[in-house]
Structure 1
Amino acid sequence: MKSWIRIITIFICSSMFAQQTNFKFDFGGRRVQDGFIPITEHSEFDRKAGYGFMDISGLKSVDRGGNVLTGDYITSDRPFYFSVVLREGNYDIKLNLGDSKGTSQTTVRVENRRLMLDDVKTKGGEIVEKLITVHVKDSILRNQDGVEIGIVKIKPRERKYLHWDNLLTIEFNGKAPKICAITIQPNKTAKTIYLTGDSTVVDAQYEPWASWGQMLPCFFVPQEVAIANYAESGETLKAFEDRHRIDKIWNKIKPGDYLFIQFGHNDQKYGNSTKSGYRKRLQEWINKVKQLGAIPVLVTSMNRRVFDKNNKIVNTLDDFPAAMREISKEENVYLIDLNVMSKTLFEALGPENSKKAFIYYPANTYPNQPDALADDTHFNTYGAYELAKCVIKSIVDQKQPLTRFISKKYKGFDLNQPDPFEKFYWPESIFMESLKPDGN
């Protein structure tokens, strides 16, 4: 009888924890701030507990004394990942970073390498408090009352992704990452920017692949905006509907939110034309967004890296960008013309230097990569970062309402003078794969 009571008690406690949405974690040694959950170098993830590190090997707990909460921290010589069981939604996450008797240098990403904090440096003895706002999602379709009505048809490859696993996973990276504390609480008021598109928009999990969508969060003011990236490699407008990805968004988007729409690469690849459903679906999506009180934003597909003999970019996307421009005018919606901007950007880099923005790597640069990689469609982290700045530039230059939520990190961008590749800093994650994403 006692064993059954114990099992029931454990089930109730674990269920209660799974529903919990507010957390306070104190990282470090044995000294623990009142009201906080202690996290040490031995705190390996346990789904029943609901939190922990993905891998505890290499973790170090350091206690400098002094302040109970910020006098100790967890660090490692390689990237480390902390996960928390959280229900779907937007969350504000406060992080205390630094070393009360030393320096630190930390990059923070979430889920599939979604960039939140870019190379935060602290001086000797300095502890900084940083806030990020993160969208956590699952693959369940729910109606407005929260009742489960279906599921997103994710691909086999997606089952390995960190953003469909009913967890919030935070990646700590950099030359000297030091985390003292984390506080998590729901954010019910942030505007959510939903991203739809293909492999050039998706949160790519594996190095060296990347997209502009996963770089976008670091350019927005936390607490005010959450980036919800629902893009996936290889998708067309029709496939996005067939797999119920857009249904997921229709059931979640609220008045004042945004829907960014970028499709074209794969619509073209599968032999579709702008007249065979592309225009019709775009117009239907736009009307649906407006009916729900949200704001549609069209994004033209960026160019591929194809130059002519005069070192000018060749259009390989047929009339898809032109069709999107026309629909933007017809429906009176915002347009981010990434197609035009990428042409200027790539031509400024030139035929050879532009390879530094794409997936061009000699054989054996990454694990299980016997052949050289040469891909003129997909981007590395530098290229994705530059394209994200193009998106931000367009928002600011057009004086879109989102402009007031752009962070001070954005200091303007000259397409004719891209950021020097040599100065771009991106500490690589542990997840690497040479397999090309779906799409072209």
Structure 2
Amino acid sequence: MMVAFFGSFTHLPVNAEPSNYKFDFGNGEVEKGYVGVSATEKYDEKKRYGFNTPEDMINVPASGSGVASDAVQFLEYGTKSDNTFNVDLPNGLYEVKVTLGDAFRVSVAAEEVYQVINMTGNNATDSFQIPITDGQLNLLITEGKVGTNFTLSALEINKLSRHPETKRTIYIGGDSTVANYYPLDSSIQAGWGQLFPQFVDPETFEVRNMASGGQIARGFKDDGQLEAILKYIKPGDYFILQLGINDTNPKNTTTEAQFKEYMREMVQQVKAKGATVVLSTPQGRASDFNADGVHTSVNRWYRHSIIALAQEENVPLIDLNVLSSAYFSSIGPEATLALYMNGDTLHPNRAGATELARLVAEELKRQGLDGFTGDKEKNTNKTF
């Protein structure tokens, strides 16, 4: 059990160190098999875990059951904050699973960059893989929406490899039509990035969806999402980037020329890391049918600049705008509308996001990029 391991952790030989760590946060009853951690518990070298600045933490109740019945709240936050929960870990590759307390919208940061973007809802769970190279995980719950509570109920850490190297990874950037929604396996609304792992060979790739609702090119570039990708992306990885919908909104004051240059800067930074960049145009609205029953939206969302940029930077292009229109035309207006949220012609539901993800994967496979199965029934990969 975890308590026994941590109690004598410093006296164990290296090969006896645990490969699984489970923490139950808050001041309530501790779930069996977990280490209980109160907000007041400061990091201790002998215990090898604890909060760096417990004065900036408080215990709070939570509405879930078991480990999710209580939580801790982070009063100080931000990806660069030192108000972290620290765990000493031998260098290697780990999978980290977080369970929130009561929370509206939060993100998870570790090693001073975002790891999960905009988890929503009480007791939401998500996982990510992270290489540890300095002997310690430093994690905190931070902004999804400023002014809400940032809480953590439970943390589970599993060692995957003693080598601190991620497997090949597909990173995805985008907006609300691409982003994750919670619970990940049953949400009504979904982005195509959330369903994309169904079409990816899990033996080849992990999928890391860094898209978020309302995002624009300037925000993705400057507000931490690109920074997280650049920290980890490497040769053999892919970065699929789809933006433009929100950039065209007048409130964001982004001209098409500015949008193109923000996108170019991101493309060039990722290319400099040796990874493959793929640009994608956004799909249109469900209502974009003409009088002849043909779906077309080729003039939406700065599409022409995305196509031009892909040609100028010599990177693969997925013209999802045209691919989705062809599919929508084939099934007709009524069936197309059924792939979107009720009363919403822009945001896909789970079925719609699945079809968009399929189109993206099929096009990548057609262009000769490896790692795509095209068979969601045989794929159990998940998104991180």
TM-score (norm 1): 0.54
2:264 maps to 1:283: yes
Listed as ranges, the gaps of 5+ residues in structure 1 are: 1-5, 14-19, 26-41, 58-84, 94-110, 115-133, 170-182, 361-373, 412-440
Listed as ranges, the gaps of 5+ residues in structure 2 are: 11-16, 23-29, 38-48, 50-63, 68-86, 98-115, 120-125, 378-384
Question: 2:334 — aligned with what?
Answer: 352
CA contact (8 A) 2:168 2:205 kept: yes
CA shift, 1:343, in A, is 0.6
Question: 1:154 — aligned with what?
Answer: 143
Residue identity opposite 2:36 in structure 1: K
Question: 1:398 — aligned with what?
Answer: 367
Q: Quick one: which of 324, 347, 358 aligns to 1:389?
A: 358
Q: How does 1:236-251 map to 2 (within 5 A)?
A: 236-251=216-231
CA shift, 1:294, in A, is 1.1
Alignment RMSD (CA, Å): 4.7
- Report Cα offsets for 1:339-360 as digits up to 9, x if no partner: 1111111122211111221012
Task: Output the CA distance in 2 between the equivalents of 1:216 and 1:260.
Answer: 11
- Report Cα offsets for 1:340-391 as digits up to 9, x if no partner: 111111122211111221012xxxxxxxxxxxxx000111111111111101
Question: 2:181 — aligned with what?
Answer: 204
CA contact (8 A) 2:180 2:190 kept: yes
Q: How does 1:99-114 map to 2 (within 5 A)?
A: none
Task: Output the CA distance in 1 between the equivalents of 2:18 and 2:93.
Answer: 10
CA contact (8 A) 2:88 2:136 kept: no
Number of residue pairs the alignment of both structures matches:
285
CA shift, 1:223, in A, is 3.5
Question: Percent identity between the aligned chains?
Answer: 26
Q: For 1:194, what is the secondary structure of its paired residue?
A: strand
Question: 1:29 — aligned with what?
Answer: none
CA contact (8 A) 1:256 1:294 kept: yes
Residue identity opposite 2:258 in structure 1: G
Task: Output the CA distance in 1 between the equivalents of 2:295 and 2:8.
Answer: 60
Instruction: Report which stretch shifted further, 142-151 or 305-314.
Output: 142-151
CA contact (8 A) 2:248 2:301 kept: no
Q: Quick one: which of 133, 136, 151 aligns to 2:128?
A: 136
CA contact (8 A) 1:259 1:296 kept: yes
CA contact (8 A) 1:92 1:185 kept: no
- Report Cα offsets for 1:16-43 as digits up to 9, x if no partner: xxxx883499xxxxxxxxxxxxxxxx95
CA shift, 1:90, in A, is 6.3
Cα distance change of structure 1 residues 336 and 242 upon mapping to structure 2, 3 Å threshold: same
Question: 1:409 — aligned with what?
Answer: 375
CA contact (8 A) 1:90 1:135 kept: no
2:257 maps to 1:268: no
Cα distance change of structure 1 residues 344 and 301 upon mapping to structure 2, 3 Å threshold: same
Cα distance change of structure 1 residues 379 and 318 upon mapping to structure 2, 3 Å threshold: closer
TM-score (norm 2): 0.61
CA contact (8 A) 1:194 1:260 kept: yes
Question: 1:185 — aligned with what?
Answer: 160
Task: Output the CA distance in 1 between the equivalents of 2:93 and 2:149.
Answer: 21
Residue identity opposite 2:308 in structure 1: E
CA shift, 1:144, in A, is 9.0
CA contact (8 A) 2:256 2:302 kept: no
Q: For 1:315, what is the secondary structure of its paired residue?
A: coil
Question: 2:303 — aligned with what?
Answer: 321
2:224 maps to 1:227: no
Residue identity opposite 2:372 in structure 1: I
- Report Cα offsets for 1:267-321 as digits up to 9, x if no partner: 1123545534211111111111111111111011111112233222242853611
Question: 1:335 — aligned with what?
Answer: 317
Task: Output the CA distance in 2 between the equivalents of 1:223 and 1:43.
Answer: 33
CA contact (8 A) 2:221 2:262 kept: no
Task: Output the CA distance in 1 between the equivalents of 2:274 and 2:293.
Answer: 44
CA contact (8 A) 1:274 1:323 kept: no
Task: Output the CA distance in 2 between the equivalents of 1:222 and 1:282.
Answer: 29
Q: Quick one: which of 284, 295, 298 aligns to 1:303?
A: 284
Task: Output the CA distance in 2 between the equivalents of 1:334 and 1:21.
Answer: 43
